[in-house]
Amino acid sequence: MSWGVGGLVTTNEHIYFAYSPYFDPSRRSTVFRDRGLMPVSSSELRSHFSLYRVSSASMRTFVLLVASLAVAAAWTPYDYRPAYARAATKVKATLSSGLPQNFPVKTTQDGTSWITTTNTSRTQGYSAGLGWLLFEATNNSAWYDLAVNAQSGQTASGFDIGLISSVSYGNQYRLLQTPAALTALKSAATKMNANYKPTVSFIASRAAVYNAKFAALFAENIADLQTFWILQSANALDATQYKVAVNTTKTHLAQTLRSDGSTWQLVEMNFQKFYVVGTRGTVTGWDGDSSSSRTQAFVVLGLALAAAGTGDSTYFKAATAAADYLIQKTNGSVPYFDVSVQTQTDSSAAAVFSAALLTLSASIQETTSGKYFQAADSLLKQLEAGYTAGPNQVSLLNGGVFNWQAGDVNTGLIEGDYWYVKALNLYSRAVPASSLPATSSTSSTTSSTSSTSSTTSSTSSTTSSTSSTTSSTTSSTTSSTTSSTTAAPTSSSTSALTTSSSAASTVPTKSAVVTAAQDVTVFKFVLNLFDKEIFISIIASVSKVKRSAIVIISVTSNKRSDVAVDFYLADDSEADMSAATASLQDAASQAQANPSSNPFVEAAASLNVTAFSVSDFSQSTQMATFTQSATVADAPTYTGPIDTTPGNVVGAAEQKMISWIVALLSIFLVLY
Model pLDDT for residues 270-292, shown as the tens digit of each residue: 877 665 666 788 888 787 788 99
This prediction has a pTM of: 0.62
* CA–CA separation, 484 and 421 (whole Å): 25
* CA–CA separation, 374 and 298 (whole Å): 19
pLDDT at 203 over 90: yes
Task: Name 551's bridge partners.
Answer: 568
Structural domains of the chain, with CATH: 5-74 (no CATH), 81-459 (1.50.10.10), 518-626 (3.30.70)
For residue 126, the one-letter residue type is Y
Look at 394 and 514; give whichever has higher pLDDT. Answer: 394
Q: For the segment 314-336, what is each residue's pLDDT rounded down to a tens digit?
A: 999 999 999 999 999 999 999 99
Q: Are 520 and 569 in contact (CB under 8 A)?
A: yes
For residue 19, the one-letter residue type is Y
Q: For the segment 105-156, what is each residue's pLDDT rounded down to a tens digit?
A: 999 999 999 999 988 888 999 999 999 999 999 989 899 999 999 999 998 7
Residue 296 pLDDT: 96
Task: Name 17's bridge partners.
Answer: 8, 52
pLDDT band at residue 570 using 50, 70 and 90 as cut-offs: confident
Element (H, E) at 278: strand 276-281
* CA–CA separation, 37 and 647 (whole Å): 62
Residue 672 pLDDT: 65
Residue 318 pLDDT: 94
* CA–CA separation, 416 and 431 (whole Å): 22
At residue 23, the 3 state secondary structure works out as: coil
